[in-house]
């Protein structure tokens, strides 16, 4: 390497960093505008018909996926009928990836309601927030899920209740499976993976630094393995139903799970 080339490398690296930073800034700004636009639309269409909010949310998330160059490889088919969608949970990106493919009313942890910009937009777009520390509030969330399902709107839930790095699947909470039984709808297991394992958001990582890094990536590749709908067996308890669905997702993640 010549002396002139070596001297030019720091400047080149700096130019690359500036370009990457500019890309991330532009994406974040466009994502903010998309969220604000979705919030305004939700206030208009929210009362038109059951599922209006779910379709508005799906459209907004498709735009966010395009902004962040998220490519989703879907293996299998989503059913046309209302159902409960359940998936393993890796990141705050999971709802974007899934709901951009299949409109549904998502269930999210209560903390999301307090996130700047995201919380108000999510609430207006029909996200059902659950406080797992409160039994009465959990019951309210499940009643709302049942109401949505009976109105013909699918529901998305991550029954692990928290995220992992993808090397394991935590036990599933049984609540949403009881809701599926009461609403007489099937559960659709979804196995979710990212090509970049560092997209997992765990271990109390701070949102903004992780989101900034994600926004700098040239593209993101995700894969959804959508398994056939599963129905509760006669007299099957919600906990047993949850275990069967968890096993189906684990089977599709074989090769990704490790100790």
Q: Which structural domains are found in the chain, ordered by start?
A: 3-252 (3.40.1130)
Positive/negative CA dihedral, 142, 143, 145, 149: positive
What is the pTM assigned to this prediction?
0.85
Tell me the per-residue pLDDT of 113-171, one tens digit each, with 9 for 90 and over.
776 666 776 777 778 888 777 788 888 889 999 999 999 999 999 999 889 999 999 99
Question: CA nearest 176: which of 86, 257, 103?
Answer: 86
Question: 220-226 and 187-194 as β-strands: parallel, antiparallel, unpaired?
Answer: antiparallel
Alpha helices in 188-258 (DSSP H): 207-216, 238-252
Q: Is 154 left (phi over 0), alpha (psi -120 to 50) or beta?
A: beta
Tell me the per-residue pLDDT of 231-246, one tens digit each, with 9 for 90 and over.
999 999 999 999 999 9
Residue for token pair 């059902």: 128
Residue for token pair 């038109």: 48
């Amino acid at each position: 390497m010549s002396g002139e080339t070596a001297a030019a490398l720091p400047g080149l690296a700096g130019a690359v960093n500036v370009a990457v930073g500019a890309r991330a800034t532009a994406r974040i700004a466009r994502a903010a505008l998309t969220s604000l636009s979705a919030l305004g639309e939700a206030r208009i269409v929210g009362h038109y018909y059951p599922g209006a909010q779910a379709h508005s949310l799906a459209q907004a998330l498709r735009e966010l996926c395009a902004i962040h160059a998220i490519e989703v490889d879907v293996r299998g088919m989503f059913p046309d009928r209302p159902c409960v969608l359940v998936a393993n949970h890796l990141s705050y990106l999971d709802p974007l990836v899934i709901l951009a493919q299949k409109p549904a009313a998502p269930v999210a942890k209560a903390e999301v309601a307090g996130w700047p910009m995201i919380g108000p937009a999510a609430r207006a777009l029909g996200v059902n927030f659950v406080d797992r520390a409160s039994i009465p509030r959990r019951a309210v969330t499940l009643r709302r899920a049942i109401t949505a399902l009976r109105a013909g709107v699918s529901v998305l839930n991550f029954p692990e209740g928290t995220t992992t790095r993808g090397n394991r699947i935590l036990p599933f909470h049984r609540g949403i499976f009881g809701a599926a039984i009461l609403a007489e709808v099937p559960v659709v297991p979804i196995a979710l993976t990212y090509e970049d394992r560092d997209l997992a958001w765990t271990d109390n990582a701070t949102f903004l630094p992780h989101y900034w890094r994600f926004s700098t990536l040239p593209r993101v590749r995700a894969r959804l393995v959508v398994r056939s709908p599963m129905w509760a067996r006669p007299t099957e308890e919600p906990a047993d139903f949850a275990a069967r669905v968890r096993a189906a997702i684990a089977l599709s993640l074989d090769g990704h799970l490790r100790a």
